[in-house]
Structure 1
Amino acid sequence: MYHMTVYDEDGKVLFNDALSATSDEEAKKAGYAWLAEHGHENKPHRIFHTTGRLVSFKPHQFDLKTGKATKS
């Protein structure tokens, strides 16, 4: 079982639900398709197996001078 969480630049959860997949590659493919379909390709996200194994991770981008998240 796989799960995906997508955040906006302020850390608000935009999506947090299970992904139907039987392998890491299938989970990535399903997750990336969902991101593209909803226009969230550049949003911070994580895709993980429910055992805790991280499959894909895109962190927030920060401006080192201000210490704040940058907008994608």
Structure 2
Amino acid sequence: MYHMTVYDENGNKLYDEPISAQTDEEAKKIGYAWLAKHGHETKPHRIFHTTGRLVSFKPHQFDLKRGKATL
């Protein structure tokens, strides 16, 4: 079993749900499809196996001049 969490630029959770997949590649495919469908491809996210193994991770980008996270 896998899980995906998507965040906004302030670190608030936009999505936090399990993904039913058999392999890491299948979990990524399902997760990326969800991100594309909902227009969140640029949002920070993580996809991980429930044992804790990280499958995909896109961190927040930080603008040093503004002192804020960006997307």
TM-score, normalization by structure 2: 0.95
Gaps of 5+ in 2: none
Q: What is the total number of aligned residue pairs between the two structures?
A: 71
SS in 2 for 1:9: coil
Indicate the larger mover: 59-68 or 34-43. Answer: 59-68
TM-score, normalization by structure 1: 0.94
2:2 aligned partner: 2
Give the C-alpha shift of residue 68 in structure 1.
1.4
Q: In structure 2, what residue type is equivalent to 1:48?
A: F
Q: State the identity as a percent.
A: 79
Structure-to-structure mapping, 1:20-59, within 5 angstroms: 20-59=20-59
Residue by residue over 1:24-53, the C-alpha shift from the partner in whole angstroms, topping out at 9 and shown as x without a partner, is: 000000000000000000000000000000
Aligned-residue Cα RMSD (Å) equals 0.8
Cα distance in 2 for partners of 1:54, 1:27 equals 11
1:63 aligned partner: 63
Residue by residue over 1:3-29, the C-alpha shift from the partner in whole angstroms, topping out at 9 and shown as x without a partner, is: 000000011100000001000000000
SS in 1 for 2:47: strand
> 4+ residue runs of structure 1 moved beyond 3 angstroms?
none
